[in-house]
Structure 1
Amino acid sequence: MRKRWVAVLSLASTLAWALLAGGAFGDGSALDHFERRIRPVLIEHCYPCHSQASGVTQGGLRLDTAAAMCRGGDSGPVLSADTPEDSPLLQALRYEGYEMPPSGKLPDETIAAFAEWIAAGAHDPREGDEPITEPPTIDAKSHWSFQPIERPEVPQVESAGVRTPIDAFVTAKQREAGVEPAPAATSHDLLRRVYFDLTGLPPTAAEIERFQNDPSDEAYEAIVDALLASPRFGERWGRYWLDVARYADTKGYVFEEDRNYPNAYRYRDWVIASFNDDLPYDQFLIAQIAADQLGEEAPREAMGYLTLGRRFLNNPHDIIDDRIDVVTRGMLGLTVACARCHDHKYDPIPTADYYSLYSVFASSEEQKPENCPPVLVDRAEPVQQVVFLRGNPGMRGEPTPRQFLACVTDGDRRPFEKGSGRRELAEAIASPDNPLTARVWANRVWGWLFGRGLVATASDFGLRGEAPTHPELLDYLATALIDDGWSTKRLVRRIVLSSVYRQSCEAPPASLETDPGNTLLTRRERRRLDLEANRDAVLQACGRLDLAMGGPSQQLVGDTPTTRRAVYGFVERQNLPAFFRTFDFPSPDTHASNRAVTVSPQQALYFLNSPLMIANAAALAEHSAEAGADEAARVEWMFRQTQGRRPSDAERADLFAFLTDPAAAEAPPAPEWSYGWGRIDEASVTIDFHVLPHFKGDAWQGGPELPDPSIGWVMLNAGGGHPGDTTHQAIRRWTAPAPGDVTVAGKLSHGSDQGDGVRARVVHSVGAITGEWTAANATTDTGTQPMRVAAGDTIDFVVDCRESEAFDSFGWDVTLNLLREGEEVATPYRSTTGFEGPAPAPLDRWGRLAQVLLMCNEFQFVD
């Protein structure tokens, strides 16, 4: 056990780990991004000149297959893996050299989609070297997911480990393969697992000890029932659904209109309440598509599922496409949006079926009632839509009736008859005769409890998706869901009471060899806490978690972050904060089937340096003083509070060794960079330096607003800043940490086409100006001769106005290279990457011990 908490997520070890999983895109979203944002543009704007069908390919460049695109044309490759921003394809789209397409520059949003695609690795599913001109012929009824759901016969298996039918299905498959499952998890690990899975919060040490004293099946079932009845259940499971619903509190990239959805939180609160109330899943789905047609008492806020998506500069075609995608992938597990421009390349979904659904949503219009997210209502007259050839609204094909998908319709399809058809669509999706809906939901629930679904591609049950590892078990769960009145809580209860859920992460060595990917469920996968569970667990351990429910979204980051649960955090769609991205929060731009799990240096740096973590560690240390003055009692209390158990003798010795280590009392080194204002005394070449007092998110300035009443426009950010007048110059100061020789290199820029520019000077504290430059509507290099510095010497980068004080925003990216005495390689210090906000007060030895306990693996992992 000792290794489990000592194995801290240290900076050194984390820096050595490789980044995992998929660039900017998670599971399935790379394919989705290509099919929705890239392929349609290539077909419409590039294929006429750069495809096999075009006859003579211009510049020897074909873009109609992945292989041809990788080869490039007469001028060489068009994609650059090393420097994506320099890819000739992207430069041509930006009209930087070649200007493609020659008919006119594409919208900025489209070009940004290509930039994102290339930066993430240019995922391209087009196989072979010949373009696909016709979709394959597919027999829908031959694919497992389109076949009717039938309750399978439960295998007859004799084993002490078979508690439920779920165990019988799993054990039968394991015996066929000749493998043995892992033993049962310890009572400590099991309780921690079920608490996190059902509520997103850890059990207390007292709750763990109580279960350890009575780990009977009856006691465990009572705990499960209590957790299912807890309001914390809806908060945990509601957040899962919000990933599916691509929930955010803002619209994304829009122009002059309000970027916020002021009442988005009401949809989030309805979702949480629905899970707590165990609203039958079929009713849950119907309300989110057609609540406006369910009577006066129907929850209109439920329609946030459709209306709270990205706004695509209010392009109606893209908004409808987003709604089709979130409904079909989220509820049916089908990538119907891939049929927007052509018949689906793999699944039996013709373009006509896409535009049948398009007609349903085009026959609805958006309203914005008070105290509610936007809702959809039927138009006075429904729309009879036509197929847009190649997805182009200007190329109109045959009309399409409003009707459900052919591949999941049993018998003759009947067009929808009531208004837009949204309610009929919702009822078709939620029908027990639909072969997809119950399977998809049962698989999602399994995946959220186990870390991976029985079908690994949770939002793609089509021909390109993974087949289920246990098809009979999946159908058993789906039929049980329907028979139980579509109760999510009863489905969760069935699963967590099974032996396969309760098994250990430690499998027999033979099973690890036979079942390395754990497809036979021979063990539990060890899982790290996700963003919400991690943050909430830290706050709970430190006695700071606010369990108030509902209401407007709160900021999780910034100067005054909320201490409420993370599910109530404000989700910014366009500029997702670094904290969210660092811990694998999915992009709210699109539906997310599951979350990527990455390991990156930024995660360790967050635990070491973030103001929130340091504040929590300080709070935990202060709280531990309640245990009394005795240090042994205080250490014991702190360990139990974070790890849920008492330390072993060896762990207790390690804790005291850390606590009494002289290094634990050392103050952290002073930062190399500081940010201020002042002026140069020209006669003595000295600087009257004052630290800028206010940090506003990404910039140091005089006060909350600019211009500050006292010092005006002075501001410094990572890339540059703005000076005030001649007596309020902007000063970025570097303090030498050691003696040596320093060289300075950089670029000063004045980007505005107005004003007379700025003057920049480098001032050494020995009383010397070592460089001076001006930049007016231009960029200039700023380099100096080597300077000798002693430890504590300062080098100031001073910028002031010239004649005019207007339009003086500047950029100044400088790098100092310090060659320390006795060393052969210089250490670089760059102004942009070294930029930071205010450092929190340093932790004392108790605070540092608290920080270690909050970072250790036993705290950071579920079990």
Structure 2
Amino acid sequence: ILSEEPTYMMPPPESNLELTTVEKAMLLRWIEQGAVYKKHWSFLAPVAAEIPNLKEDPWVKDEIDFFIKKSMLKQGLAPNSEADREVLLRRLALDLTGLPPSAHNLNIYAADTGDIAIEKVIDQLLSSNHFGERMALEWMDAARYADSHGYQDDGMRNTWPWRDWVIEAFNRNLPYDTFLLWQLAGDLLPSPTEEQILATCFNRNHPQSQEGGVVDEEYRVEYVADRTNTLGKAILGLTVECARCHDHKYDPITQKDYYSLFAYFNNNNDAGVVPYNGEASPTIILPPPGVRKVIDSLRYEIHEMEGAMQASEAYISDFKKWYNKEHERLEEHLPDHNQLVGEFHFDEEFKIDASDINLEDKPNKRTGANKSYTIAYYNHQKKQLDAALWGHMDDKPILEEGRNGKAVLFQGDAGIRFNRELDFDRDQPFAVSLWVKFLKEGEEGPVFGKTNGDFEGYRGWLCKLNSDGTLSFQFNHVWPDNCIDFQTTEPVRINEWTHIVLSYDGSSKAAGIKFYLDGKIPEHRLHQDNLKKSLLHGVNKSNWSNQPFLLGMELRKSIEHLLVDDLKIYRRPLSRIEVQQLFDADLHPELQEKDWFEYYLLSGKNALFNKRSQDLQKIRQRENLLVTDQPEVMVMQEKKYARKTYILDRGAYDAPSEEVAAGVPEVFIEDTDSVGTDRLSLAQWVISRDNPLTARVVVNRLWRMCFGRGLVATQEDFGAQGSLPTHPELLDYLALEFMEMGWDVKKMLKKIMLSATYRQSSGTNGEQLVKDPENHFYSRYPTHRLGGEIIRDQVLSASGLLVPKIGGPSVYPYQPDGIWEALATRNAISYNQQSGDSLYRRSLYTIWKRSSPPPAMLNFDAPDRYYCVVRRQQTSTPLQSLVLMNDPQFVEAARVLAEKMVNAPTLEESLHYAYQQLFGRKPNQDESANLTKLYYHAYDHFQAEKSEAEKLLSVGEFPLTSDLDKEKLAAQTIVASTLINYDEFVTKR
């Protein structure tokens, strides 16, 4: 640092950077003192400072003031006096509810000048349900909440119940450590409640892709990275994302540390592609209380009926009679064709006119060529053509020598599509039997089933060949969580015929599914047993695709080098005896009486069992239809078999290197094994005293909420590149105090707001501007502009339009035409403005589409919420004034406020009323005089141009009071609109 030799100079000459004389002296002094290295301040535990007797200074009201006054005195500054009561009440109301104070509270508070009055007002505001809305607004940016998925298609999602949970959590003052714990890992708590699971939607708020052709794993990795980055920025105040591709250049966070954090979120049971039909799993189903009772009742009835069906003594007597009668000729019953609805030998194919096929959706819709004919296949059971080619004629299946006569060979982008009568839902029992021969090792793809593939979350049921040669059998509402998912452990044989049977009893349980390879149940793993909703498409959300039963293909995938022969489809499960007989008619295993008893029941030979089966299916169908129609919300749920996590070279999903275990960065903890490897362990560390960051980050955010800027200005970065705290001792004091008071948000806010520091006026004198131009030392209250949501809510409240309802689905208020349409592709294209109360709800409830956020809020610097944002940028642009002057929401509010102004006895009183509603005070003499001139000027204009008055008063849907003088009302509307454009209205002072 002292060398003049370019080779040795630091910083290097090419950096164009140079240390100042003071900085060089500081480094030399540090070297002389021994060059002892200390961790960055934020990586050290908060230290309690010694606090003297606070009564020595009459200005100091609490510990906060002591630290602030101490720093002021060092700069030769003195604090401002307390703000006027009206100003202070407005400040408190905006900070705690995001709404202006009521006239009633203003009158009461202004009359009482004691400290007790301030405390009462704070308590009243903290107990308001609007407090939760105000706090939730802060958290929505950090949690990147939106009502749409993002990316190109930007389809809608159903996450508003999580937003409402956040509001309710703040209103009931859920301790902040619990608030964080539940959101990070509520699902992993012992016997988690519904709300603890719902809270984990926080981790699923990231954008998700619905686009065709994306690589599932690539996007899934992006989602995990987003969760990791959000933990860093929103909770730890660190830019951990900088270590995704390499070690962090400035903070002691290595790439290994990053992927150790990444590992905590890498085991969620989700996929990379969001289905068009339903929420992305895993989810929690949230029926309304009344519907929940009906569902519980149906499930109890199902449980009782299942128990009755399994009571074998009810059928034994009739079975004995049948068995004794048929004992000598039992095998003559096989094969049993009872409820056999499909039988395809594929011994011949038919080239027919496409219009003659028995399918509801004609196959040439996908074929795209040879539209005049198609290739069809014969159903020997129904004596008709129930199957046809679906796909490209160039790759069409052909007939080859099979196991029994001919077989169909699949060789590319084409499959066979069956009549919809062969569709089944989760409440319907069925079975499929077929012979297959896989001709090439390493092949993968769908063998048979009914699914649209990843485009629909694999909704339906299927058997597929995996790349490792194993088979998967799945029943999916949305894979991989709302489903039943089996996988064999051994690969299938190549170039040998294998007999497959899939048998299902309609119970929606893994225990009700049996699959056989060559007559035996193979070794397998059960990945998931959580099927809760329908297997059919088009339920719960509109959808334009609904595949029937397919062989050798699904919507966007097909299989090659596969032979299929002798396909049979049943509307009932098959017994073990039938499976054995279908595999080898000459095979006679040691059949026991219990095997024939199973066959006797499943093949429909007992009237009582048949009746109970039919009754049970009806109840299951009712439960299925009712549950499938209920809303669900994305949450976290761990996979049964954990994923491995690797350091990804350059952060690329397809470049894994070293395997890593879940853990926290080494800079925070000496013994990395002391923190467990599941998300709950991470969450517990995050809120523990061993973590020096979380409490500091929280109180810094609360401070910024009150003062417009945090003690650490870079709320998102407490690392080496972030700002140093202006008052480090105060920050540590608040962090320690916050933990001591049980992470009580309301208590901490009250403490801040009772301080003399918060209660100062915002006026500025020359000395302050010279010594503290940016107000780092708080010798005055820092004035700052309000956010777009609060500005809009203010004008709705002041005009009387605000609908104070808490919670519920997002609403569609006024918005300029064509914004959604300009950016939408094929999902949620049009913005359908609502009417009535929906126009006047708080901005927190406005629909948030990531590709087209609410434009009025964007103009006031709201983020698009593609990523976590904890500090909004503040700009001043002409567009903001144009919003206040011309947005229908603001023009209508000005008109409704003007109606109340017109009803005042005098013009002066009308101006007083407007000032009271908008600013919480009365106008001074100059303000009244200027507004009076404005009123008469506008009135004269509208008297001369009555159509202009009509045009102005027609803005908005709120009914116009018919008996008012329209020219006077229009003039008062201009006055109200002008006041809404005042700096004082959009600023907190």
TM-score by length of 1: 0.62
* Counterpart for residue 413 of structure 1: 672
Instruction: For 2:938 and 2:237, locate their aligned partners in 1 and report how far apart those are by CA, in whole Å.
Output: 57
CA offsets per residue over residues 374-418 of structure 1, 9 Å max, x none? 111111122231211122233332111111121222x21117656
Q: Partner of 1:443: helix, strand, or coil?
A: helix
* Counterpart for residue 341 of structure 1: 245
Instruction: For 2:940 and 2:690, locate their aligned partners in 1 and report how far apart those are by CA, in whole Å.
Output: 64
Q: Partner of 1:377: helix, strand, or coil?
A: coil
Per-residue deviation, 1:511: 2.2
* Counterpart for residue 649 of structure 1: 925
CA offsets per residue over residues 649-703 of structure 1, 9 Å max, x none? 33332222221126762478999xxxxxxxxxxxxxxxxxxxxxxx9xxxxxxxx
1:187–1:212 Cα contact (<8 Å) kept: yes
Which of 628, 637, 644 is residue 377 of structure 1 equivalent to? 637
Which of 227, 230, 253 is residue 326 of structure 1 equivalent to? 230
* Counterpart for residue 460 of structure 1: 717
Distance of aligned partners of 1:596 and 1:139 in 2 relative to their CA distance in 1, 3 Å threshold: farther
CA offsets per residue over residues 81-131 of structure 1, 9 Å max, x none? xxxxxxxxxxxxxxxxxxxxxxxxxxxxxxxxxxxxxxxxxxxxxxxxxxx
Q: How does 1:621-636 map to 2 (within 5 A)?
A: 621-628=898-905, 630-636=906-912
Q: Are 2:561 and 1:285 equivalent residues in the alignment?
A: no
1:308–1:373 Cα contact (<8 Å) kept: no
CA offsets per residue over residues 583-629 of structure 1, 9 Å max, x none? 1112201111211111111111112222221111111112334434x
* Counterpart for residue 941 of structure 2: 665
2:768–2:779 Cα contact (<8 Å) kept: yes
* Counterpart for residue 154 of structure 1: 51
Q: Are 2:158 and 1:259 equivalent residues in the alignment?
A: no
Moved more, 853-862 or 399-408: 853-862
Per-residue deviation, 1:298: 4.8
Q: How does 1:519-538 map to 2 (within 5 A)?
A: 519-538=776-795
* Counterpart for residue 230 of structure 1: 128
Which of 570, 593, 599 is residue 847 of structure 2 equivalent to? 570
Per-residue deviation, 1:857: 2.4
1:244–1:593 Cα contact (<8 Å) kept: yes
Q: Are 2:42 and 1:145 equivalent residues in the alignment?
A: yes
Q: Report the residue type matching 2:912 in the other structure.
A: E
Instruction: For 2:205 and 2:92, locate their aligned partners in 1 and report how far apart those are by CA, in whole Å.
Output: 32
Instruction: For 2:908 and 2:675, locate their aligned partners in 1 and report how far apart those are by CA, in whole Å.
Output: 72
Q: Partner of 1:247: helix, strand, or coil?
A: coil
Instruction: For 2:911 and 2:727, locate their aligned partners in 1 and report how far apart those are by CA, in whole Å.
Output: 47
Instruction: For 1:393 and 1:265, locate their aligned partners in 2 and report how far apart those are by CA, in whole Å.
Output: 31
Distance of aligned partners of 1:183 and 1:508 in 2 relative to their CA distance in 1, 3 Å threshold: farther
CA offsets per residue over residues 536-575 of structure 1, 9 Å max, x none? 1101111110000111011243344620111111111122
Q: Partner of 1:650: helix, strand, or coil?
A: helix
Stretches of structure 2 that go unaligned for 5 or more consecutive residues are 1-11, 16-34, 271-281, 286-630, 816-832, 949-955, 957-965
* Counterpart for residue 61 of structure 1: none
* Counterpart for residue 78 of structure 1: none
Distance of aligned partners of 1:265 and 1:652 in 2 relative to their CA distance in 1, 3 Å threshold: same
* Counterpart for residue 74 of structure 2: 176
* Counterpart for residue 297 of structure 1: 193
Distance of aligned partners of 1:426 and 1:652 in 2 relative to their CA distance in 1, 3 Å threshold: same
Q: Are 2:317 and 1:317 equivalent residues in the alignment?
A: no
Instruction: For 1:453 and 1:140, locate their aligned partners in 2 and report how far apart those are by CA, in whole Å.
Output: 27
Instruction: For 1:662 and 1:546, locate their aligned partners in 2 and report how far apart those are by CA, in whole Å.
Output: 30
Per-residue deviation, 1:467: 0.9
Q: Partner of 2:984: helix, strand, or coil?
A: helix
CA offsets per residue over residues 202-227 of structure 1, 9 Å max, x none? 11334223222212101111111111
Stretches of structure 1 that go unaligned for 5 or more consecutive residues are 1-64, 69-137, 672-694, 696-839
Q: Report the residue type matching 1:173 in the other structure.
A: S
Which of 870, 888, 893 is residue 616 of structure 1 equivalent to? 893
Q: Are 2:963 and 1:861 equivalent residues in the alignment?
A: no
* Counterpart for residue 306 of structure 1: 203
CA offsets per residue over residues 426-455 of structure 1, 9 Å max, x none? 111111221011111111111111000000
Which of 158, 164, 167 is residue 65 of structure 2 equivalent to? 167
CA offsets per residue over residues 466-505 of structure 1, 9 Å max, x none? 1111011001000010000111111111100000000111
Instruction: For 2:854 and 2:796, locate their aligned partners in 1 and report how far apart those are by CA, in whole Å.
Output: 19
Q: Size of the alignment, in residue pairs?
A: 557
* Counterpart for residue 363 of structure 1: 267
Instruction: For 1:389 and 1:844, locate their aligned partners in 2 and report how far apart those are by CA, in whole Å.
Output: 65
CA offsets per residue over residues 733-753 of structure 1, 9 Å max, x none? xxxxxxxxxxxxxxxxxxxxx
Instruction: For 2:143 and 2:223, locate their aligned partners in 1 and report how far apart those are by CA, in whole Å.
Output: 14
Q: How does 1:452-851 map to 2 (within 5 A)?
A: 452-558=709-815, 559-560=833-834, 562-628=839-905, 630-661=906-937, 665-666=941-942, 844-851=970-977
Per-residue deviation, 1:272: 0.8
2:186–2:192 Cα contact (<8 Å) kept: no
Instruction: For 2:913 and 2:698, locate their aligned partners in 1 and report how far apart those are by CA, in whole Å.
Output: 42
Distance of aligned partners of 1:207 and 1:140 in 2 relative to their CA distance in 1, 3 Å threshold: farther
Q: Partner of 1:858: helix, strand, or coil?
A: coil
2:46–2:735 Cα contact (<8 Å) kept: yes
Instruction: For 1:417 and 1:285, locate their aligned partners in 2 and report how far apart those are by CA, in whole Å.
Output: 17
* Counterpart for residue 215 of structure 1: 113
Instruction: For 1:642 and 1:384, locate their aligned partners in 2 and report how far apart those are by CA, in whole Å.
Output: 58
Q: How does 1:28-67 map to 2 (within 5 A)?
A: none
Instruction: For 1:214 and 1:617, locate their aligned partners in 2 and report how far apart those are by CA, in whole Å.
Output: 32
Q: Partner of 1:518: helix, strand, or coil?
A: coil
Per-residue deviation, 1:282: 0.9
Q: Report the residue type matching 2:849 in the other structure.
A: E
* Counterpart for residue 662 of structure 2: 402
Instruction: For 1:479 and 1:573, locate their aligned partners in 2 and report how far apart those are by CA, in whole Å.
Output: 38
Q: How does 1:418-429 map to 2 (within 5 A)?
A: 421-429=678-686
Distance of aligned partners of 1:847 and 1:343 in 2 relative to their CA distance in 1, 3 Å threshold: same
* Counterpart for residue 108 of structure 1: none
Per-residue deviation, 1:519: 1.1
Instruction: For 1:273 and 1:548, locate their aligned partners in 2 and report how far apart those are by CA, in whole Å.
Output: 13
1:261–1:308 Cα contact (<8 Å) kept: no
Q: Report the residue type matching 1:430 in the other structure.
A: I
1:455–1:469 Cα contact (<8 Å) kept: yes
Q: Are 2:174 and 1:275 equivalent residues in the alignment?
A: no
Instruction: For 1:617 and 1:858, locate their aligned partners in 2 and report how far apart those are by CA, in whole Å.
Output: 16
Q: Are 2:651 and 1:391 equivalent residues in the alignment?
A: yes
Moved more, 576-585 or 326-335: 576-585
Instruction: For 2:900 and 2:105, locate their aligned partners in 1 and report how far apart those are by CA, in whole Å.
Output: 20
Distance of aligned partners of 1:664 and 1:573 in 2 relative to their CA distance in 1, 3 Å threshold: farther
Instruction: For 1:662 and 1:348, locate their aligned partners in 2 and report how far apart those are by CA, in whole Å.
Output: 64
Q: Report the residue type matching 2:169 in the other structure.
A: S
Q: How does 1:18-29 map to 2 (within 5 A)?
A: none
Instruction: For 1:613 and 1:530, locate their aligned partners in 2 and report how far apart those are by CA, in whole Å.
Output: 15
Distance of aligned partners of 1:417 and 1:860 in 2 relative to their CA distance in 1, 3 Å threshold: closer
Q: Partner of 1:589: helix, strand, or coil?
A: coil
Distance of aligned partners of 1:477 and 1:611 in 2 relative to their CA distance in 1, 3 Å threshold: same
Instruction: For 2:724 and 2:101, locate their aligned partners in 1 and report how far apart those are by CA, in whole Å.
Output: 36
CA offsets per residue over residues 107-160 of structure 1, 9 Å max, x none? xxxxxxxxxxxxxxxxxxxxxxxxxxxxxxx99952100111232212456321
Distance of aligned partners of 1:337 and 1:206 in 2 relative to their CA distance in 1, 3 Å threshold: same
Q: Report the residue type matching 2:755 in the other structure.
A: S
1:539–1:616 Cα contact (<8 Å) kept: yes
Q: Partner of 1:499: helix, strand, or coil?
A: coil
